[in-house]
Homo-oligomer: A and B are copies of this chain.
Amino acid sequence: MASHHPTEQRLTIREIAEAAGVSAMTVSRVLNKRPDVAPATRQKIEQLVAESGFVRSRAARAMRKGRHGLIDLVVLSLDSPYILEIIRGVEEALEPTGLRLVVSATHGEDQHERQWLAKISDGWTDGAILVLAQGQSDRVQSLRRRRTPFVVVDHEGELGPQVPSVGATNWAGARSATEYLLALGHRRIAFIGGSPTLGCAQERASGYREALKAEGIDVDPDLVRPGTFLHESGYEQTMALLDLPDPPTAIFAGNDTMAFGCYSALRARGVRVPDAISVVGFDDVLVAPLVIPPLTTVRQPLADMGRFAVSMLLRQIDGSPLDALRVELATSLVVRESCAAPGTSGSLQGQT
């Protein structure tokens, strides 16, 4: 049952013009809020537009102007609360500009058929903000070849400093979190890393090592665990850490989600936080202060990163030069209640 609604023709600018007794161009001028229209005429047209519920065609406008007023936000997936923060920042920054936000997810990259690139590059959007995993450098290159303005968020990686990107000071954040644990008196501090292919994960691991080194502590390979940034990963690695002959007194998780995994594992083993083991996360997602105990974590200003990405993108779109291609926003340690000095409760056995 196709939709043949010959009567349902949408209003055009010309019909409004006719009703107002002016030319289409004048209506266009009013709609574009241009100054060279007599107040009386303007008001009449505005009223007519309001009454009729007329909306101009985005397509025609886009064709004429060469711009569509749309910005692409491409993310890996929409599963993590982490991404919501970024979306929020982007949306807020875009709001006053009148540009609209188009969200799409790549759903992992095994889907080679409908590449995300095709979506962006079919000339619909004016620019793109990419929140991606690794291994996309070829696509990013071809994006550049198409001269589509874009900004990468939270990932430099192998793309190099050539591409505009916004990140956070992962290294410094990880270092200060580790230093905090050291200052509390911890000496056996475990680290659960994120996907090793991600630049941010590498930086965090490096910051952790650096802090230990600065304190003259050798990094115990047993205490440095691989991870995936996912909850199970935090759970499993914590279990493994607890099974060590000499378990850690503190765990620094590569992100909050894994820190929650630590919580679960520790609870399953009856180990209390922070009495028996301290836990630190990374990201400071919305729920970090809501879990029990409230999670001490490294705050990554995700929303600000989103906002910043927008401003960089807008600069590119209107041809202004960028101050810097790579921008890193400051992280900060948010101390809550998941850490304590070690040894406050003799052993690792707690109560159910």
Residues of chain A touching chain B, judged by Cβ–Cβ distance below 8 Å, are 1-3, 5, 8, 10, 53, 55-63, 68-70, 78-79, 81, 83-84, 87-88, 91-92, 95, 98, 100-105, 107, 114, 119, 121-125, 142, 145-147, 231, 257, 260-261, 263-264, 267, 286-287, 290-294, 317-320
22 contacts between A and B (CB under 8 A): A2-B318, A10-B124, A55-B122, A57-B63, A58-B62, A59-B60, A61-B123, A62-B62, A69-B123, A78-B88, A79-B88, A81-B287, A91-B103, A91-B104, A91-B105, A92-B105, A100-B119, A100-B124, A102-B102, A260-B291, A263-B290, A287-B291
Apart from A81-B81, A261-B290, what are 12 other A-B pairs with CB-CB below 8 Å?
A10-B124, A53-B142, A55-B121, A58-B62, A58-B125, A61-B123, A101-B104, A231-B290, A260-B290, A260-B291, A267-B292, A267-B293
A123 and B56 form a contact (CB under 8 A): yes
Task: Determine the distance from Cα of A294 to Cα of B231 in the docked complex, in whole angstroms.
Answer: 14
Q: Which residues of B contact A92 (CB under 8 A)?
A: 105
Known: A147-B8, A231-B290, A287-B287. Is A87-B78 also a contact (CB below 8 A)?
yes
Which residue, of A91, A290, A293, has the highest number of chain B Cβ atoms within 10 A?
A290
Q: Which residues of B contact A291 (CB under 8 A)?
A: 260, 287, 290-292
Q: Which residues of B contact A3 (CB under 8 A)?
A: 317-319
Chain B nearest Cβ from A332, distance in angstroms: 21
